Structure 1
Amino acid sequence: MSDPHAREPVAADSRLERTVGNRVRHHRLAAGLTASDLAARSGLSPAMISRIESATTSASLTTIHRLARALEVPVASLFRGADAPRAAIVVKAGGGTESVRAGSRQGHRYASLGNLLSTSGPSLEPTLVTLTDASNVFPLFQHPGTEFLYMLEGAVLFRHGDDEHVLEAGDSILLDAETPHGPTAVIAGPARFLSVNPAGA
């Protein structure tokens, strides 16, 4: 049985359909709902939810209204970002904006590689961190969300909760950032790593 609220399939690169699909998925996951849960709440089929989220169909305004009610969000929030220009930030080698953070007084150097506000999901801020011989105090960090680190050169002893790991060039760690974490010693310096955090963390 066909869904009376569905429209004809659309090209997958349509900006409006991609925006609506991303926003529906974002709000669904934020509410802890499965596609089947949202289908039951909205009276749509799970297949229709999947097509909307993957931007392979163009939903009618009636369908979008039903989704907004089921997600308990304003209808306008499902269109947010549809008409916004898509930005990209390029930082050339050796660039980045020097920033002062909790470890700056202990000889840690931070260079932000950009901060881009996302309209369809969490915003991220990549930061290049350099630890030298002057880095003799190592504060631990704790903030909401997750964090990803990739070692570029040198080696550090890295703590996450009660666990310690030796991270060398080419190693990476993806961690729950609500647990106290951070490098506790420079094994081979200078040590440089890329840290990707939620913006503002």
Structure 2
Amino acid sequence: MDDRIGPALREARVRQKRTLRGVALATGLSASLLSQVETGKSQPSVSTLYTLVSHLGLSLDELLGLDVGGRAPAASEPDVLETTIQRAADNPVLDMDNGVRWERLAVDDPRSVEPLLVTYQPGASSSADGGLMRHAGREHAYLLDGELTLRFESADHVLRAGDSVSFRSDRPHLYVNHTSAPARGVWFVVGRTGSGRPRERIAGPPAELLRLLDGARPVTSDER
């Protein structure tokens, strides 16, 4: 499923008639990094992926190429009561830079909640450069195995198996696994792409300036 990340991001950018340069200026990411992610030459970190999907207004299911109802047909067994059973082997998977894996769990309405089984390998971090990230919504997490450090602006919190946490995701934060064993937990991100509410845009130049910059030069072949 990770092969879907680059094409999905590129498709969303092209559909919105944005250039690599314009998206780079708006998100603070380099155009070369964006190009490498879109062409599959590089996997994004968690923070890079959240920055891009928030800026382009994508849900996790759209990124995974799932249908609008949030179910992968081969992975679900709905009954008359609309119960969704998703087998472990059918979890849609996103493998990201630095040893972080997301597995999308069963959900009926992905517009309101994004349920994830998350694994951080030893040394893995949600940001390649150690910078704090932020995105819309509220984050709820329960650690199943291992140990994970959650960093906010001025404090570190060590989470161990059985610990849970809840916080507003627009608060700058970072996850790091400082141990020699994988850390695995269940995450629920609520309201990141909620229906009827504006999607968060990463701070950057005003939209009118971005449109002018996007039209300031011809679009090159790798930006189409």
TM-score using structure 1 length: 0.47
Which structure has greater strand proportion? 1
Which structure has the higher relative contact order (CA within 8 Å, separation 6+)?
A: 2
Higher-Rg structure is 1
TM-score using structure 2 length: 0.43
